[in-house]
């Protein structure tokens, strides 16, 4: 997109905002969503602010390893545009239809997060459409060192409560054609977390560089850590593996100790089967899988099935007629300090009948822009304003220098007689808080307003709200994340 077209699109977005009904909250019109909140207004909405012109890679600077991209650009579109140029974003979330604007305002992680942190940490600049002092919209350019630094810091995890990203300048990482993998089995959870600590501290495993790390816990005595590195060749096998058809990636962790995928297939290894959730739609049954079009083995297809069920409750009605207990949806990603991860996993496997679980190490990037922590346990200096002990991203206050593990679980459990819907999720929230962690807000949340404000930067977002949306054109974060408004 030429510079004049960007200017024209910004002006059009401002006009569109000003035309939105003043008596209703402004929402973003999107064709896809990765939210799982009950009754979410986004899931019900079909109209809203149209920012569709902010899709695509507008400019790439190979020398500085940066790109200007539209906020509505999906990671699939980013990868398709950047990978042939030998680059990818520093963190590419697992699902194709997540947008980069969505990942910045709602967080995102992947197997590079132990060294590259969260997607918003590789953002150098972003233009944000805010509510404006008069409630008619204002576009501001936020950077960590300009007059809108307050917005820059408060925007991650704000979920559209402060405005919407129009475009961003992001850092890029050079790639290789392939990613070579090792699947290392652990028979106890302490051994798993000890290995995670070693890899996060040294970025090496048995003498081999580690560029990517995530894992799967199938049970208390069966867990796998997958360690990957960029590679210029296919190592140890005649050709790269293909998990976009009959073969299923997560099962390969149990079947083989090493593997090689193309860079493209590695980035989307989880998308084909929505991790392992495609089994709920029959897509892993051999007969159904042979009939299922290969191009429809994608997370957004499964999401459409889920959205249909949310609207119409067909399977819930069938289960009720069969006399089955109603079910509580337990779809969450939580960040636990590494020191408490084994305890959380043990508690979860004992109390919640869901497995497998995804684990993904993560830590904030260093102040100098380098990723990860120093070897041998030396912790990096705090980022501003962390020099005074506060986290650099107040709405999701992970502590600099502290290693965390994301634990992801996506299923449902029976609501036993005498139990309330949401009881399991409430228990998980309490355990996460007890261990000093946080949970992502893309799914159901049950916090009271005071607890939510304490955990998710209530003072910081209130201050940013007063400055950038004083007329309340956007719902508050609590309204969006907990009340699903």
Residue closest to 110 by CA, chosen among 123, 126, 125, 93? 93
Give the per-residue pLDDT at 292.
94
The greatest distance separating any two alpha carbons of the chain, rounded to the nearest whole angstrom, comes to 63
Q: How buried is 46 (Cβ within 10 angstroms: 0-12 exposed, 13-18 middle, 19+ buried)?
A: exposed
pLDDT digits over 124-166, tens only? Answer: 999 999 999 999 999 999 999 999 999 999 999 999 999 999 9
Give the per-residue pLDDT at 183.
98
Average confidence (pLDDT) over 340-363:
98
**pLDDT, the chain, mean:** 90
Give the per-residue pLDDT at 14.
85
Please name each of the domains of the chain with its CATH number: 3-175+473-481 (3.30.465.10)
CB 484 within 8 A of CB 459: no
Q: Does the pLDDT of residue 316 top 90, yes or no?
A: no
- Distance, in Å, from the CA atom of 245 to the CA atom of 295, rounded to the nearest integer, reads 9
- Percentage of the chain lying above the pLDDT 90 cut: 77
Give the per-residue pLDDT at 368.
53
- Percentage of the chain lying above the pLDDT 70 cut: 89
Q: How buried is 355 (Cβ within 10 angstroms: 0-12 exposed, 13-18 middle, 19+ buried)?
A: middle
- Identify the residue with better confidence: 7 or 53: 53
pLDDT digits over 376-429, tens only? Answer: 332 333 344 444 456 899 999 999 999 999 999 999 999 999 999 999 999 999
Lowest mean pLDDT among 13-27, 269-283, 331-345, 425-439: 13-27
pLDDT band at 43 (very low <50, low <70, confident <90, very high): very low
Q: Does the pLDDT of residue 86 top 70, yes or no?
A: yes
Q: Does the pLDDT of residue 469 top 70, yes or no?
A: yes
Give the per-residue pLDDT at 339.
98
Lowest mean pLDDT among 323-327, 406-410, 472-476: 323-327
- Identify the residue with better confidence: 7 or 129: 129
Q: Does the pLDDT of residue 374 top 60, yes or no?
A: no
Give the per-residue pLDDT at 305.
87
pLDDT band at 98 (very low <50, low <70, confident <90, very high): very high
Alpha-carbon 364 to chain mean position:
14
The pTM for the full model equals: 0.91
- Distance, in Å, from the CA atom of 111 to the CA atom of 364, rounded to the nearest integer, reads 13
pLDDT band at 371 (very low <50, low <70, confident <90, very high): very low
Q: Does the pLDDT of residue 372 top 90, yes or no?
A: no
Q: Is the dihedral of CA 162, 165, 170, 174 positive or negative?
A: positive
Q: Does the pLDDT of residue 94 top 60, yes or no?
A: yes
- Distance, in Å, from the CA atom of 362 to the CA atom of 75, rounded to the nearest integer, reads 20
pLDDT band at 367 (very low <50, low <70, confident <90, very high): low
Give the per-residue pLDDT at 385.
40
Average confidence (pLDDT) over 336-357:
98
Average confidence (pLDDT) over 7-12:
83
Give the per-residue pLDDT at 27.
87
Q: Which helix (H) or strand (E) holds 5?
A: helix 3-19
pLDDT digits over 177-221, tens only? Answer: 999 999 999 999 999 999 999 999 999 999 999 999 999 999 999
Give the per-residue pLDDT at 277.
94
pLDDT band at 12 (very low <50, low <70, confident <90, very high): confident
Average confidence (pLDDT) over 354-383:
64
Average confidence (pLDDT) over 88-92:
98
Q: Does the pLDDT of residue 318 top 80, yes or no?
A: no
Give the per-residue pLDDT at 390.
66
Residue closest to 101 by CA, chosen among 183, 46, 182, 156? 156
Q: Does the pLDDT of residue 56 top 50, yes or no?
A: yes
Q: Does the pLDDT of residue 93 top 60, yes or no?
A: yes
Per-residue DSSP letter, 247: S
- Kindly report the number of other CB atoms within 10 A of residue 1's CB atom: 18
Q: Does the pLDDT of residue 269 top 90, yes or no?
A: yes
Give the per-residue pLDDT at 7.
78
Give the per-residue pLDDT at 32.
59
Give the per-residue pLDDT at 4.
64
Lowest mean pLDDT among 43-52, 152-161, 207-216, 252-261: 43-52
């Amino acid at each position: 997109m030429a510079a004049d077209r960007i200017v024209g699109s910004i002006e059009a977005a401002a006009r569109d905002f000003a035309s939105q009904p003043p008596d209703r909250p402004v929402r973003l019109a999107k064709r896809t969503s990765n939210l799982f909140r009950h009754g979410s207004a986004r899931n019900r909405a079909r109209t809203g602010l149209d920012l569709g012109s902010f899709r695509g890679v507008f400019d790439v600077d190979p020398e500085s390893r940066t790109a200007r991209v539209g906020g509505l650009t999906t990671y699939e579109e980013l990868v398709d545009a950047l990978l042939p140029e030998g680059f990818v974003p520093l963190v590419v979330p697992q699902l194709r239809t997540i947008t980069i604007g969505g990942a910045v305002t709602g967080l995102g992680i992947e197997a590079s997060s132990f060294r590259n942190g969260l997607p918003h940490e590789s953002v150098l600049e972003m233009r944000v459409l805010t509510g404006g002092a008069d409630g008619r919209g204002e576009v501001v350019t936020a950077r960590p060192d300009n007059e809108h630094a307050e917005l820059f810091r408060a925007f991650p995890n704000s979920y559209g409560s402060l405005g919407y990203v129009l475009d961003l300048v992001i850092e890029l990482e050079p790639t290789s054609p392939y990613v070579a993998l090792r699947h290392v089995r652990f028979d106890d959870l302490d051994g798993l977390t000890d290995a995670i600590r070693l890899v996060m501290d040294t970025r090496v495993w048995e003498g081999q560089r580690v560029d990517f790390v995530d894992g799967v816990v199938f049970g208390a005595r069966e867990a796998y850590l997958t360690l990957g590195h960029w590679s210029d060749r296919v190592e140890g096998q005649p050709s790269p593996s293909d998990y976009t058809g009959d073969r299923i990636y997560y099962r390969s962790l149990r079947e083989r100790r090493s593997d090689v995928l193309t860079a493209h297939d590695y980035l989307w290894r989880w998308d084909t089967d929505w991790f392992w959730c495609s089994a709920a739609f029959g897509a892993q049954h051999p007969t159904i899988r042979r009939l299922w079009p290969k191009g429809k083995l994608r997370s957004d297809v499964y999401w459409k099935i889920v959205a249909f069920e949310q609207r119409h409750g067909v399977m819930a009605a069938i289960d009720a007629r069969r006399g089955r207990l109603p079910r509580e949806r337990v779809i969450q990603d939580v960040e636990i300090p590494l020191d408490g991860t084994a305890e959380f996993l043990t508690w979860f496997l004992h109390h919640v009948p869901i497995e497998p679980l995804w684990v993904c190490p993560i830590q904030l990037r260093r102040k100098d822009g380098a990723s990860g922590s120093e070897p041998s346990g030396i912790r990096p200096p705090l980022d501003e304003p962390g020099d005074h002990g506060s986290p650099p991203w107040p709405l999701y206050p992970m502590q600099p220098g502290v290693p965390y593990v994301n634990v992801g679980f996506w299923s449902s459990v029976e609501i036993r007689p005498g139990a309330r819907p949401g009881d399991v999720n409430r228990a998980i929230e309490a355990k996460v808080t007890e261990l000093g962690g946080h949970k992502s807000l893309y799914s159901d949340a049950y916090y009271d307003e005071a607890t939510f404000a304490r955990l998710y930067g209530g003072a910081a977002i209130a201050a940013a709200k007063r400055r950038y949306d004083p007329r309340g054109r956007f719902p508050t974060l609590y309204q969006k994340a907990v009340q699903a408004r």
